[in-house]
Amino acid sequence: MTTITFIGAGSVEFTRDLIADVLGFPELADAQLVLHDIDDQRLAASVGTAESVARQRGVRPTITACSDRRKALEGTDFVINMIAVGGHAATTADFEIPAWYGLRQTIADTIGVGGIFRGLRTFPVLEGIARDMLEICPDAWLLNYTNPMAMNVAYLAAVAPTLKVVGLCHSVYWTVRGLCEVIGVPFDEVSYSSAGVNHQAWVLRWERDGQSLYPLLDARIAADPELRRRVRVDMYRRFGFYPTETSEHSSEYVPWYLHHDVEVERLRIAVGAYIGISEDNLAEYASTRAALQAGEALEIDRDSTEYAPQVIHSIVTGTKRTIFGNVRNTGLITNLPQDYAVEVPCAVDELGVHPMHVGALPPALAALNRAFVAPGELAVQAALTGDPKLVRNAAMLDPNTAATLTVDQIWALCNELTAAHGDLMPESLRGALVL
Amino acid sequence: MTTITFIGAGSVEFTRDLIADVLGFPELADAQLVLHDIDDQRLAASVGTAESVARQRGVRPTITACSDRRKALEGTDFVINMIAVGGHAATTADFEIPAWYGLRQTIADTIGVGGIFRGLRTFPVLEGIARDMLEICPDAWLLNYTNPMAMNVAYLAAVAPTLKVVGLCHSVYWTVRGLCEVIGVPFDEVSYSSAGVNHQAWVLRWERDGQSLYPLLDARIAADPELRRRVRVDMYRRFGFYPTETSEHSSEYVPWYLHHDVEVERLRIAVGAYIGISEDNLAEYASTRAALQAGEALEIDRDSTEYAPQVIHSIVTGTKRTIFGNVRNTGLITNLPQDYAVEVPCAVDELGVHPMHVGALPPALAALNRAFVAPGELAVQAALTGDPKLVRNAAMLDPNTAATLTVDQIWALCNELTAAHGDLMPESLRGALVL
Amino acid sequence: MTTITFIGAGSVEFTRDLIADVLGFPELADAQLVLHDIDDQRLAASVGTAESVARQRGVRPTITACSDRRKALEGTDFVINMIAVGGHAATTADFEIPAWYGLRQTIADTIGVGGIFRGLRTFPVLEGIARDMLEICPDAWLLNYTNPMAMNVAYLAAVAPTLKVVGLCHSVYWTVRGLCEVIGVPFDEVSYSSAGVNHQAWVLRWERDGQSLYPLLDARIAADPELRRRVRVDMYRRFGFYPTETSEHSSEYVPWYLHHDVEVERLRIAVGAYIGISEDNLAEYASTRAALQAGEALEIDRDSTEYAPQVIHSIVTGTKRTIFGNVRNTGLITNLPQDYAVEVPCAVDELGVHPMHVGALPPALAALNRAFVAPGELAVQAALTGDPKLVRNAAMLDPNTAATLTVDQIWALCNELTAAHGDLMPESLRGALVL
Amino acid sequence: MTTITFIGAGSVEFTRDLIADVLGFPELADAQLVLHDIDDQRLAASVGTAESVARQRGVRPTITACSDRRKALEGTDFVINMIAVGGHAATTADFEIPAWYGLRQTIADTIGVGGIFRGLRTFPVLEGIARDMLEICPDAWLLNYTNPMAMNVAYLAAVAPTLKVVGLCHSVYWTVRGLCEVIGVPFDEVSYSSAGVNHQAWVLRWERDGQSLYPLLDARIAADPELRRRVRVDMYRRFGFYPTETSEHSSEYVPWYLHHDVEVERLRIAVGAYIGISEDNLAEYASTRAALQAGEALEIDRDSTEYAPQVIHSIVTGTKRTIFGNVRNTGLITNLPQDYAVEVPCAVDELGVHPMHVGALPPALAALNRAFVAPGELAVQAALTGDPKLVRNAAMLDPNTAATLTVDQIWALCNELTAAHGDLMPESLRGALVL
């Protein structure tokens, strides 16, 4: 029997989708699902959600709530991490304080000052989970969903190098689905591969019957001026490979768009979009709770295609799959910084998750990725060494931040965000740093 | 429709097995099979063989004989290389001349003076195939079966770096099957992984339900003194991981056994075994021809499990498989020489053959592999640079040769074998080298 | 007798300084100096200059003018490259066209659109020199002074990997001299080391009697608000290590300063400074010619401290020196892109120039350097592959350009500069690229 | 004032030579010399020696005896390590037990079973020194003379990665001096470079006026049959580069000579030579003590040319020198195992010892070196992991041992030597390992 522990299970919509997928596999129908959250109300809601899903799937897993994290790890095979340290309040700070300085962000969870501070407040909790796992369930896999993905995976690789970790994200999958819709080719007929860094990986191959589908995309773009009003299309036209995140998200990873009003307008970029998403999440949580209290069945997303249930199923049953996973760069992509995280194709089978060798990315893609990696790498180093200067350097190296603010503004902004996040920050990085 | 070209198709038994497997896949039943050999009689026999197999399979592929190699490559998708340059005569020389000096060999096709000279006479032909492919069918895969595998793959990586090449060998598969038989565990219940160099890779993982099976093997070995009279078991007991070639073969890759009569006796090593195998091949070829002329159906090996048909099937259909393939070491195994060939797990799907990252081998295994790699690497360099001294250095670095002969003997032996192989040798390496 | 060939000898002031230093070494007083330039008038001026310097030094070298480059290379031991492809006109275009788009530059010869296009028009000439050398004087050293240094060294490493090349620049030396002046410590009492990329290397160690001198610098900076109005001091305060180029120059390598009026003011950045320098060079050339025609003695810069004469002297005499040279990154700095150029300490002796291993730079310095490397790496790749898209990508990845212009502006600017440089551009990169 | 601590100072002849050289430098004449040994009698002799040398040099250093190692390290700048763990008795065991099995050794301190066990008993003491240094004098340099050099340097790199360590050996220097004598060219007119592993490095360049001197050597060898009766000459003729250790020593690093009586005879190899050397050392120690007690002046070796005094002098005064030092392979030699020790040219100046980048060795030399490295690497790993199997694997991978004994003999021999060295062995590696 397979045991799966959900850390941060109170993200009930996500828990619902994952559990629905898990229980959709007959081999996992009797799984033991251990739900953990530090918020008791959310934990209760996650249990209700799991039970509701199980009923709809018509299966009888063992569902356990566990507010003690170490206990939740006992005997487990898989740990799915979905924590959001600081919650909605911290997210709001990550947007509002930079906005006050004139810095635009869209999602702010990956790089940028938002991503950097999200990383910094996540690392201590992540390290606790890793330490507990090495002690309590050293053979279990940690399947991480928490952002900033690349920073988190790199941080784990540094503090818990022997832990089995893979970071999972659906951006590659949905990117290719979307591309197929654009050109009107059925997704099922398509083969594809991608590599790079999470949220800025590149669709390196996208083929049907051995032929590249990019020429079809070119034709569509040429025919449709509105298509050209997407950040990703703009980047694709200039770099030759499609990036794997939404246009909103992609806009904040590069230095070209957000600080020009004209570009925000031209590319219809939804500045501050994530604030709304975060509020929607709160609302959806409330309605889920209401539905559970009312005894209503929760709707299952039949189109869910998250990797974690697939990875678990492959490891349990030996079914071979390829996923795009986030792992330490051990020479996998030769022209990106070693030891930071990369997102590469991984074969999954009963022996685990096996990253495939990619080699060198086309040089312009590698150069872009390296600029994307810089703030993450420095944020990780800041936490590892306890050097608060590196937090400021991380923000200075962030392409969008660097293109928008002066160095004094960046410094002040970091001091302010440090104060705002208070005790969530790693101990050595708290307090203002005055030049 | 898939086109497959067989180079050296006159190895009729092997051609028979491969074609039987290919045609066993419904999706490949209409494949175009193009057979090429430089020996017209053998080429005719291979056609007869292919037709006989097709009849037994009840399918109707297109079967073409083609004595012009460049023509045989036109429009092909896969090239299976099975050439044996010099044939039985050259093989005999590879055994008899060393034996005269007192050097024992068993198979002599991998490393050792036999392997080195087999490599040297194969490289020019291999280079010709690679050049033709890059010109005529640059997108086709070259599936190499010809030994010395690692040298050949490394040579191809040097002279045709853009060619899609994977070397295929069943030794990992049969090693694990054999291990399962020894401990009485069904092969189907077992998971395994292996990495190293072809013919000296290591069974790194061998598990059932997540538990290592090595303790069961230890128990069997402890209980059975006869088991301990195998070279592989002897190596396993001392190094902790099982090597993936037969005991005969393994004995000639290491410095410990063949030059001690007592060890040859203790471990029952069949010195010179391959001479008999080569003669059996000739006899089987004769009987196949006789059977074909008599119109008899050829027997199909229902247990054949070669990788080439599986690789073709996976690339054509997208069926995911894992094979153990030989590819250039691009950081895949970090503590073996880079750019030489390694044998690693590879995921295969419609996008091709994707080597998985292995990392560092346990240090003693890497050290053994590096000694195994040395003669191959120097033989490849000898051919690339045209430096005949490197041929002698290759032989001097061969563990078994070095442990048996004096340096003057090794030198004389290389001169003699060079003379024996005459024009089969690369042009720059012909003639004696007198110190 | 040592032969030294000066390519682009018509840069008469530089030729004067180098020859003065060369002839200041007794062991080189009888050197054969071969002067080459494609401009006959300048070539004549360089001969006059050399003769004047020799007279003042009181020595009698052999001085030859040679307008045929291949002839100038015959029998030479050292080739000093000082060419400036396109001259003042091209330099002016590199400033004026970007300025029209609103892009500020200061020197524009290293990275940035100016540096990229300077590189692109230099590569073909550089490749010609390298090919000639490999044919005519394959054992000679190429001592390169021409900018963009790192791009040029990287390009040479790609097209002529066996050529002995080192790029020489006095920026490290003068940076440390300047630092010593700031804190009032005699330069002669100081030890220092530096590594990074040319024009953005870092003073990693700066010591007297084994003690770091940075605390003295910190004290001076704290005491003097005017000191803080230097770009380099601003960067030093934030990153902890001093960069090795002037503040003007440094400002255009990073995304933070030039596009903010307030920062240009605060840091007193001389936008467009090099136009004046280039004009001064023209004026100095004119006055040198006038002086030579009038038979006046040229003034020798007694303070000249260029590396080329020192390197030649060390190789000729075996005198051990340490210089900071630009070479291919062969693992010397482990966290910068491999195979691009780096500037590292090099030991020089009669066996040549020997780069020392540096290891990993502090992570924030490496991140900054990687952003600096990106436009250069892509410009080199553009020329190697003939892909005009990579020229635009190079400009898009340039930190200052990216922070100032929109992507459409960058694209248009590249098209315009491509047109402006006409036939000086590599053939495959000419013409507009319309999206 | 410079402080130098001598660990194992009781090696009085060596202490005498080093101190004589140190005090020969005027800048070091007032050095503080701290002598440490665990043998009080030897320690007293070393003090007498030092005082005698100082008198002869006519200088007045401060000479201190210190039997407490931690105290001896207080305030020191340089630590010279010359310990010989186990002394003559252990050395004798290292020869006699293998000889009983039929294994011939000559010096037995580098690789081979002698070298492996010397390493194993040295590691714990070395680790103690390193730990003390990191605590007491973390900025001091550790100049190691103790063999097995490469193993010791690699072990230190693993257990004390931040310690400043360089291993020093005069073999390169004396090899080149000897070569110059053979061809009758003054050493002072010669330039040379070497790289590889200590005791098996290669004279890669050996030139006068830019011309290789190897052709002169070839002519001498052709003319003199007796010259060909040297192991090193035999290796040079076959590999093209001269190895840097005596012929006796070189013979035990390779698989070709010692197990053939005819080769021992042909090459006049002094089997067991080091037993005599070790006895001579004891005798010389006795005579030194007698001389000191009689108040006689000790003879100073005017020809001493050890690196340690030169390194100290360069670091103290900034005088630039090149030495051949043993350091961790951080990509310095690209085709030898990374992180093990290599011997490469190092620039020395006031900032320390700076390894130069070497790149790839010629492939046959790298292959030989890798076989040489194997036993050392496994011995180091055995101590780091506490796995006694790796000790046996180390011996099995030793070229000479592997070519001589059966695997059972090697196993038994390791058990016997383990017993013989008793408590000198690392704790985890004591006791027999029965298969």
Q: Tokens standing for A329?
A: 């760069």
Chains B and C: 3 or more CB pairs within 8 Å of each other: no
Whether residue D356 and residue C354 make contact (CB cut-off 8 A), yes or no, is: yes
Question: Shortest CB distance from A406 goes to which of C256, C374, C397?
Answer: C256
Count Cβ atoms within 10 A of the Cβ of residue B60 and give its class: 0-12 exposed, 13-18 middle, 19 or more buried. Answer: exposed
Q: Supply the pLDDT for residue B32.
A: 98
SS3 category, B396: helix
d(CA B143, CA C282): 64
Q: How far is C355 from chain D (nearest CA, A)?
A: 6
What does the pLDDT read at residue D371? 98
B206 has pLDDT over 80: yes
pLDDT at D286: 94
CB B242 within 8 A of CB B179: yes
Report CB contact under 8 Å: C363, A381: yes
A82: CB partners within 8 A, 6+ apart: A6, A7, A8, A9, A11, A14, A15, A145, A146
Q: Closest residue of C to D192, CA-based?
A: C351
| Subunits in contact with chain C (3 or more CB pairs closer than 8 Å) | A, D
Closest CA–CA distance from residue D359 to any residue of chain C (Å) = 8
Annotated active-site residue in B36, B88, B170, B259: B170
Q: Do C322 and D322 touch (CB under 8 A)?
A: no
3 state DSSP class of D256: coil
**What integer pLDDT is reported at residue A300 of this predicted model?**
85
- Structure tokens that stand for A386 in this block: 């306890």
Shortest CB distance from B260 goes to which of D254, D381, D406? D406
For residue C390, the chain A residues in CB contact (below 8 A) are 363-364
Check CB contact under 8 Å for D356 and C357: yes
Distance CA C105, CA B184 (A): 76
Residues of B in contact with D239 (CB under 8 A): 389, 393
3-state secondary structure of A234: helix
| Residue partners of A324: CB distance under 8 A and separation at least 6 | A169, A172, A173, A194, A201, A307, A343, A344, A345, A346
Residue D234 confidence (pLDDT): 98
**Percent share of chain B, pLDDT over 70:** 100
DSSP label at residue A359: B
List of chain D residues whose C-beta atoms are within 8 Å of the C-beta of residue C208: none
Q: Which residues on A lie below 8 Å from C402 (Cβ)?
A: 254-256, 399, 403
**A80 phi and psi angles, rounded to 5 deg:** -100, 120
State the smallest CA–CA distance between residue C277 and chain D in angstroms: 37
* pLDDT (mean) for B155-179: 97
Query: Does B387 have pLDDT greater than 80?
Result: yes
Interface test with A, best of C200, C227, C233, C238 (most A CBs within 10 A): C238
Q: Which residues of chain C have pLDDT under 50?
A: none
Query: Are C357 and D321 inside 8 Å of each other by CB?
Result: no
pLDDT above 80 for B165: yes
Nearest to B322 among A345, A349, A357 (CB): A349
Q: Identify the pLDDT of residue B354.
A: 98
Task: Choose among B191, B331, B347: nearest Cβ to A322.
Answer: B347
Q: What's the mean pLDDT in A371-397?
A: 98
Cβ(B126)–Cβ(B155) below 8 Å: yes
Chain A: closest CA distance from residue C118 (Å): 20
Cβ contacts below 8 Å, chain B against chain D, sum to: 106
Confidence of residue A46 (pLDDT cuts 50, 70, 90): very high
Respond yes or no: is residue A170 known to be catalytic: yes
Nearest to A176 by CA among A149, A194, A150, A199: A194
Taking CB atoms and an 8 Å limit, are D364 and B371 in contact across chains? no
Q: Are strands A62-65 and A32-36 parallel, antiparallel or unpaired?
A: parallel
Give C251's contacts in chain A (Cβ within 8 Å). Answer: none
Q: Backbone phi, then psi, for D2, in 5-degree steps?
A: -95, 135
Non-local CB neighbours of B271 within 8 Å, separated by 6+ positions: B104, B105, B106, B258, B264
- Which residues make beta-bridge pairs with D359? D333
B343: chain A residues, CB-CB within 8 Å: none
> Among residues C36, C170, C199, C249, which one is catalytic?
C170
Average pLDDT of the residues of chain A: 97
Choose the closest CB to D240 out of B335, B371, B389.
B389
Q: Do A334 and B332 touch (CB under 8 A)?
A: no
Q: What is the DSSP letter of D345?
A: E
Collect all residues with Cβ–Cβ distance below 8 Å to D297 and sequence separation of at least 6.
Answer: D52, D55, D56
Test A435 with C262 for CB contact under 8 angstroms: no
- Name the more confident of A301 and D291: D291
Contacts of C397 in chain A (CB under 8 A): 364, 367-368, 371
C2: closest CA among C26, C83, C17? Answer: C26
Nearest to B238 among D240, D262, D392 (CB): D392
- For chains D and A, having 3+ Cβ pairs within 8 Å is answered no
Residue B163 has pLDDT above 90, yes or no: yes
How far does the CA of residue A262 sit from the closest CA of chain C (Å)?
9
**Cα B288 to Cα B304: distance, rounded to the nearest angstrom:** 18
Residue D350 and residue C210: Cα distance in Å, rounded? 8
pLDDT one-digit tens code per residue, A175-208: 999 999 999 999 999 999 999 999 999 999 999 9
pLDDT band with cut points at 50, 70 and 90 for residue B177: very high
Q: Looking at A36, A170, A199, A313, which residue is catalytic?
A: A170
Contact criterion met (CB < 8 Å) for C356 and D355? yes
Task: Say yes or no for a CB contact (<8 Å) between A238 and C263.
Answer: no
- Given the structure tokens 């057979």, which residue do they identify? B35
Whether chain A lies against chain B with 3 or more Cβ pairs closer than 8 A is yes
Question: Is residue B302 scored above 80 in pLDDT?
Answer: no
Selecting from C256, C374, C381 the residue whose C-beta is nearest the C-beta of A407 gives C256
* Phi, psi values for residue B360, rounded to 5°: -85, 135
**Degrees, nearest 5: CA angle C142-C147-C148:** 110
Considering CB atoms only, which of D234, D240, D378 is closest to B407?
A: D234
Tell me, what's the pLDDT at C300?
Answer: 85
Chain C residues with CB inside 8 Å of A336's CB? Answer: none
Mean pLDDT across the stretch A65-77?
98
For residue C189, give the chain D residue with the closest CA: D318
pLDDT above 90 (res A9)? yes
Give SS3 for B9.
coil
Q: Which chains touch B (3 or more CB pairs under 8 A)?
A: A, D
A256–C367 CB contact, under 8 Å:
no
d(CA B257, nearest CA chain A) in Å:
35
pLDDT band at A301 (very low <50, low <70, confident <90, very high): confident
Catalytic residue, candidates D88, D170, D260, D357: D170
Instruction: Tell me what pLDDT residue B299 has.
Output: 85
The pLDDT of residue A136 is 98
Report how far residue C221's alpha carbon sits from residue C239's, in angstroms, rounded to the nearest whole number.
14
Closest CA to A146 of A85, A78, A65, A64: A85
What distance in Å separates the CA atoms of residue D218 and residue D237, rounded to the nearest whole number? 8
pLDDT mean over A47-72: 97
* Contact yes or no for C347 and D332 at CB 8 A: no
Stretch B100-113: mean pLDDT:
97
Contact partners, residue B71, CB within 8 Å, separation at least 6: none
pLDDT tens, position by position, for chain D (435 residues)? 899 999 999 998 999 999 999 999 999 999 999 999 999 999 999 999 999 999 999 999 999 999 999 999 999 999 999 999 999 999 999 999 999 999 999 999 999 999 999 999 999 999 999 999 999 999 999 999 999 999 999 999 999 999 999 999 999 999 999 999 999 999 999 999 999 999 999 999 999 999 999 999 999 999 999 999 999 999 999 999 999 999 999 999 999 999 999 999 999 999 998 999 999 999 999 999 999 999 998 888 777 789 999 999 999 999 999 999 999 999 999 999 999 999 999 999 999 999 999 999 999 999 999 999 999 999 999 999 999 999 999 999 999 999 999 999 999 999 999 999 999 999 999 999 998
Beta strand C32-36 with C3-7 is parallel
Let me know the angle formed at the C-alpha of B389 by D207 and B85, rounded to the nearest 5 degrees.
Answer: 155
Pick from B178, B214, B176, B193: which is nearest to A350 by CA? B193
pLDDT at position D1 is 87
Which of A259, A378, A402 lies nearest to residue C256, judging by beta carbons? A402
- Name the minimum distance, in Å, from the CA of C243 to any CA of chain A: 15
Residue A256's pLDDT is 98
What pLDDT does residue D298 have? Answer: 87
Which residues on B lie below 8 Å from A355 (Cβ)? 356-357
List residues in chain D touching C: CB distance below 8 A: 139, 191, 193, 205, 207, 210, 318, 320-322, 330-332, 334, 345, 347, 349-351, 354-357, 359
Find, in chain C, the residue whose alpha carbon is nearest to that of A231: C407
Task: With CB atoms and an 8 Å threshold, state whether A347 touches B320.
Answer: yes
Residue A303 has pLDDT above 90, yes or no: no
Q: Do D354 and C350 touch (CB under 8 A)?
A: no
